[in-house]
Structure 1
Amino acid sequence: MIRPWKTTFNISFDSGKTIVEEIAASIREEIVKGRLERGAPLPGTRTLANDLGVNRKTVVFAYESLIADGWAEARLKSGTFVSDKLPEIKGLNTEEAVKMESNFEIREFISAPLTEKPTPGNLIFFNEGAPDANLAPLKELSRAYRRILDRQGKWRILGYGDERGDLKLREMLTLFLSRDRGFHADPENICITKGSQMALYLTARVLINHGDTVVVENPGYPAVRRLFAENGALVKTVEVDQEGIDINALESLCKNDKIKAVYVTPHHQFPTTVTMKAGRRIELLELSIKYSFAIIEDDYDHEYHFGAGNNLALASSEMAVNVIYISSYSKLIAPAIRVGYITGPNMFMKSLISLRAQIDRQGDNILEHAIADLMEDGTIGRHAKKAVSIYRNRRDLMEKCLTKDFGTILNHKRPEGGLAYWIEFNEKIDFNKYAELLKRKHIQIVPPETFYNDGLARFGMRLGYGSLNEEELENGIKTLAEVYNEMKGQ
């Protein structure tokens, strides 16, 4: 097929991104703006490399990233094309994007005046996907604490602060989100919370009126279903497949009922670990505008992505006018570090910050400032790079153990990221009995039925590997297989 167009990408060699990321981002922008339509051919890798003055392998890696994220597809002996699976994209010019406003209703709060845990005795716990606390940069964090307390003017940080959280941390988050998550957030429009769970609670309180319908993934995060229900929501579920939440099923719900919000974990779906592909992301954003519902994006472990693609946050899209973005440092540093953050549309954040001031005057200023210092001096970045390498090795080891010890008994797909596997047995088993037999061997798993709205387990279960060392992984998987075979033989 003829590829007549000459590339006009503006590639900056000092943007802080790799050339691979810049090339992929430029092509992605052309697709989103509608200048590259579905099925359109991309330039040959040699041609594009010559046009840009880069190595051909650089272009190959950029194309692989686009293919992994669902933006492009490779056709045998034909080349690389914009994916046919993408929906028709109605590009927005800059002026239109600036004028767009969120169009969902909120529950407004006015600010008041201001005057799964391991069971004892279990040696190996395949949790929901917690990080290894032994990797946490505690020495660096401790030194940062001491530096803050030794500074002149330390009284400022020891007094009452901004209910939104430490300003320096919010400023560092603005840089971080722009560089790593692909979107700009004003420091004035970010609220630091005590973990993502607090951010979810505040969101539910601001959004939900009694009787509102909220949609969650199935299987999904059980705590959020309970949270929404306790705040008066009618919780409905939509199934998840290999590309994320079922958009057709979601739209059917929208046609029959007024949906207030949709909660998703697009980067690594909880619990199945699948990554929502580009087409689904665009369709979800379009539905949120068409039917005026909020999207609650829980980006709980974005740092741990091991594949060729690096999906940006849903909030990075110019169509993300209804997206509320939540993340935290609990997975990156340690669960005990209760520092999360949330950002979203201005009117929503104004109400949320007022509510936060009512229930929790402020966060831990010293901890927040210490984390900001570690972000500034590069400690957090170096820790993330080291942790990703370790967790990638543990993920690969777990895949080998599952294949060796279980064989064809179960199905599993190596996750693109995150700290857990989703495995499915080829036939239904009694998970209650299985869990009880495992406890006798001092092995603990997360009850699979908790992931489903009806409380009934299917074929699969989630096995977190991040907090287990090599010996624990090998012995744990071996025991899982032995107990399963013993149970089936009874």
Structure 2
Amino acid sequence: MRALASLIVLDKYAAQPVYLQIADQLLVLIKNGTIGPGYRLLSSRSLAIALAVHRKTVVRAYEDLTAQGWLQSVRGHGTYVNRQLPIPDSQSFSERPVLNADPNKKAGFALAPAEHLQRTVIKIDTAYHLDDGYPDLRLAPLQELSRAFQTQLRSNHAFGRLGYGDPQGSIRLREVLSDYLNETRGLKTTAGNILITRGTIMGLYLASTALLKPGDTVAVGASGWKAADTNFLQAGAKLVRIPVDEHGILTERLEEICAQQTLRMVYVTSHHHYPTTVALRADRRLALLRLSEKYRFIIFEDDYDYDFHYLNKPLMPLASADHAGMVLYCGSFNKSIAPGIRVGYLAGSENVIASLSLLRRIIDRQGDVVLENAMAELLQLGIIQRHLRKAIRTYRERRDLFCNLLTRHLEDKVSFMIPEGGLAVWTVFDPAIDLKKLAASALKNDIFLNDGSGQSISGAKAHALRLGFASSNAEELEHIVTTLRKII
């Protein structure tokens, strides 16, 4: 043991306490079989002398390993390696085959491949950006939100605000949100019809996991949102793609598919189709609802940017005309306020919402009650509504400017339809332009250009991108488009 003590190397200037250094290095000797079960250690005094440390330091190291079950202390006889430990392999530690060179990087067990989960995480840190259609955070009512948040933290009812709450979400937000959705979207909800989520992604995950079985078929647009596809595939569903034209998904083709196979769900972005921004025409809305009632499939209506419509009043969602309980309506404040404000919602029949709440409870327990109540206050005081009215005017001006800039500087390179709403322009590029290289070149000029990684397009791929204009002001848009012209 005196010879083994020479294997213990201490650094008295390290951040780790000396007693832990001793304990950790003894543990390595035990684990690799250098000292086996029943081995008698030096007395604390002798080891302290050998290591030139205080005896109490060694005592604490021994006590630490004893408490963990690695050592045994026998009064009057000394301290031993626990005799109940398994006898290590007869091979010396140095002779054992290396199964994994770096367990921090690669686990020793197998992982099933999941190609559908391999999606790029978008992080924008450039000075300029044409993103996927994000709001301008400089316009968000952050001061008002901060005050409302602080009010919640300072409440006298701390346990109700900061303790465990309802997995379905803050009752105050659900009540206020129910009134808001009924007034602005023509829904007929109560608080029991609403589940608060952390955004559309959580809503998709909950619905996919709870309502789909492996082998179920989900209909999605031929062009669509890759994150939605990912959730359906993760649930084991099969995807069938419906053609999309300038008026949304082709319900005639959907009806043909329904006659041939059973659909469990149809995913639709009815207000501004993702990624093309087109609105689902009124006759197709009615047809979709009729088909849902006839063939009993769920409609998951993702209304991701309902609040931003420029030419007229926004179209009422499918959920407002759902008389059979077939629509699950999903929205969030991520586009209205900021992507980092993770508050979204699902609206549907009470029994469905209750079922999804049970699932939500085992993956997240509950949301941020303080934030949810703060959002309720902003809705109740009309702050969000005033923010949206101001934002709509600003974004409409930016949309017009951006479309003029595209026409003036890139007329021979791009084509597009001016969108009636939303925060992005669906822009078709000259086929000769390599969009990946264009995005890479833009990045070198401190411009983030959405490269279409979030889009899911089957068949003949459109040579097009969603170019988000809303998050950039007039000067920034001018700089971006003129720079892209130079790059092209």
Taking structure 1 as the reference length, the TM-score comes to 0.72
Number of paired residues? 368
1:375 matched to 2:379:
yes
What SS class does the counterpart of residue 302 from structure 1 fall into? coil
Query: Which amino acid letter does the alignment assign opposite residue 244 of structure 1?
Result: G
Q: Map residues 202-217 of structure 1 onto 2, 5 A cutoff.
A: 202-217=206-221
Indicate the RMSD between aligned Cα atoms, in angstroms: 1.7
Among 355, 358, 366, the alignment partner of 2:359 is 355
Query: Which amino acid letter does the alignment assign opposite residue 312 of structure 2?
Result: A
Q: Map residues 254-269 of structure 1 onto 2, 5 A cutoff.
A: 254-269=258-273
Greater mean deviation of Cα atoms: 186-195 or 473-482: 473-482
1:419 matched to 2:406:
no
1:171 matched to 2:180:
no
Greater mean deviation of Cα atoms: 143-152 or 174-183: 143-152
Query: Which amino acid letter does the alignment assign opposite residue 429 of structure 2?
Result: F
Give the distance between the partners of 1:231 and 1:216, measured in 2 at CA.
15
Query: Which amino acid letter does the alignment assign opposite residue 155 of structure 1?
Result: F
1:123 Cα deviation after fit = 3.1
Query: Which amino acid letter does the alignment assign opposite residue 163 of structure 1?
Result: P
Kindly provide the CA deviation profile for residues 286-337 of structure 1, in whole angstroms up to 9, marking residues without a partner as x. Answer: 1111111100000111111111242011100044521000000111111110
Give the distance between the partners of 2:145 and 2:313, measured in 1 at CA.
31
1:128 matched to 2:129:
no
Query: In structure 1, what is the equivalent of residue 368 of structure 2?
Result: 364
Give the distance between the partners of 2:272 and 2:446, measured in 1 at CA.
29
Kindly provide the CA deviation profile for residues 8-63 of structure 1, in whole angstroms up to 9, marking residues without a partner as x. Answer: xxxxxxxxxxxxxxxxxxxxxxxxxxxxxxxxxxxxxxxxxxxxxxxxxxxxxxxx
Query: In structure 2, what is the equivalent of residue 118 of structure 1?
Result: 123
Query: Which amino acid letter does the alignment assign opposite residue 131 of structure 2?
Result: N
Among 406, 422, 431, the alignment partner of 2:435 is 431
Give the distance between the partners of 2:459 and 2:442, measured in 1 at CA.
21
Change in 2 beyond 3 A, CA 1:479/1:195 = same
Query: In structure 2, what is the equivalent of residue 64 of structure 1?
Result: none
Query: In structure 2, what is the equivalent of residue 222 of structure 1?
Result: 226
Greater mean deviation of Cα atoms: 440-449 or 183-192: 440-449
1:428 Cα deviation after fit = 5.4
1:292 matched to 2:296:
yes
Kindly provide the CA deviation profile for residues 129-183 of structure 1, in whole angstroms up to 9, marking residues without a partner as x. Answer: 1111111111111111222233332332222111111111000111101110001
1:184 matched to 2:192:
no
What SS class does the counterpart of residue 452 from structure 1 fall into? strand
1:219 Cα deviation after fit = 1.2
1:304 matched to 2:308:
yes
Contact 1:286/1:319 (<8 A) preserved: no
Change in 2 beyond 3 A, CA 1:423/1:209 = same
Contact 2:266/2:300 (<8 A) preserved: yes
Give the distance between the partners of 1:347 and 1:424, measured in 2 at CA.
44
Greater mean deviation of Cα atoms: 306-315 or 151-160: 151-160
Give the distance between the partners of 2:423 and 2:286, measured in 1 at CA.
26
Change in 2 beyond 3 A, CA 1:339/1:153 = same
1:359 Cα deviation after fit = 1.4
Contact 1:410/1:426 (<8 A) preserved: yes
Contact 2:222/2:458 (<8 A) preserved: no
Query: In structure 2, what is the equivalent of residue 329 of structure 1?
Result: 333
Query: In structure 2, what is the equivalent of residue 390 of structure 1?
Result: 394
1:454 Cα deviation after fit = 4.2
1:186 Cα deviation after fit = 1.7
Taking structure 2 as the reference length, the TM-score comes to 0.72
Query: Which amino acid letter does the alignment assign opposite residue 122 of structure 2?
Result: K
Change in 2 beyond 3 A, CA 1:453/1:400 = closer
Greater mean deviation of Cα atoms: 314-323 or 290-299: 314-323
Give the distance between the partners of 1:229 and 1:273, measured in 2 at CA.
24
Give the distance between the partners of 1:453 and 1:124, measured in 2 at CA.
27
Change in 2 beyond 3 A, CA 1:139/1:439 = closer
Give the distance between the partners of 1:444 and 1:386, measured in 2 at CA.
26
Give the distance between the partners of 1:418 and 1:194, measured in 2 at CA.
21
Q: Compare CA radii of gyration and give the structure with the larger one.
A: 2
Contact 2:227/2:454 (<8 A) preserved: no
Change in 2 beyond 3 A, CA 1:243/1:456 = closer
1:470 matched to 2:487:
no
Kindly provide the CA deviation profile for residues 244-263 of structure 1, in whole angstroms up to 9, marking residues without a partner as x. Answer: 11111211221221111010
Contact 1:221/1:271 (<8 A) preserved: yes
What SS class does the counterpart of residue 466 from structure 1 fall into? coil
Change in 2 beyond 3 A, CA 1:457/1:479 = farther
Give the distance between the partners of 1:339 and 1:210, measured in 2 at CA.
29
Give the distance between the partners of 1:159 and 1:310, measured in 2 at CA.
39
Give the distance between the partners of 1:246 and 1:428, measured in 2 at CA.
30
Change in 2 beyond 3 A, CA 1:380/1:165 = same
What SS class does the counterpart of residue 436 from structure 2 fall into? helix
What SS class does the counterpart of residue 209 from structure 1 fall into? coil
Give the distance between the partners of 1:291 and 1:390, measured in 2 at CA.
43
Give the distance between the partners of 1:449 and 1:384, measured in 2 at CA.
28
What SS class does the counterpart of residue 303 from structure 1 fall into? coil
Greater mean deviation of Cα atoms: 438-447 or 449-458: 449-458
Give the distance between the partners of 2:451 and 2:460, measured in 1 at CA.
10
Contact 1:247/1:284 (<8 A) preserved: yes
Contact 1:157/1:365 (<8 A) preserved: yes
Contact 2:413/2:430 (<8 A) preserved: yes
Kindly provide the CA deviation profile for residues 184-204 of structure 1, in whole angstroms up to 9, marking residues without a partner as x. Answer: 112012110111111111010
Change in 2 beyond 3 A, CA 1:457/1:437 = farther
What SS class does the counterpart of residue 235 from structure 1 fall into? strand
Give the distance between the partners of 1:419 and 1:383, measured in 2 at CA.
16
Change in 2 beyond 3 A, CA 1:143/1:440 = closer
Query: In structure 2, what is the equivalent of residue 51 of structure 1?
Result: none
Kindly provide the CA deviation profile for residues 61-95 of structure 1, in whole angstroms up to 9, marking residues without a partner as x. Answer: xxxxxxxxxxxxxxxxxxxxxxxxxxxxxxxxxxx
Kindly provide the CA deviation profile for residues 369-404 of structure 1, in whole angstroms up to 9, marking residues without a partner as x. Answer: 011011111111111111111111111110110111
| Identical residues among aligned pairs (%) | 41
Among 242, 245, 252, the alignment partner of 1:241 is 245
Query: In structure 2, what is the equivalent of residue 57 of structure 1?
Result: none
Give the distance between the partners of 1:147 and 1:440, measured in 2 at CA.
44
Contact 2:265/2:299 (<8 A) preserved: yes
Greater mean deviation of Cα atoms: 343-352 or 433-442: 433-442
What SS class does the counterpart of residue 262 from structure 1 fall into? strand
Greater mean deviation of Cα atoms: 249-258 or 456-465: 456-465
Contact 2:333/2:344 (<8 A) preserved: yes
Greater mean deviation of Cα atoms: 299-308 or 145-154: 145-154
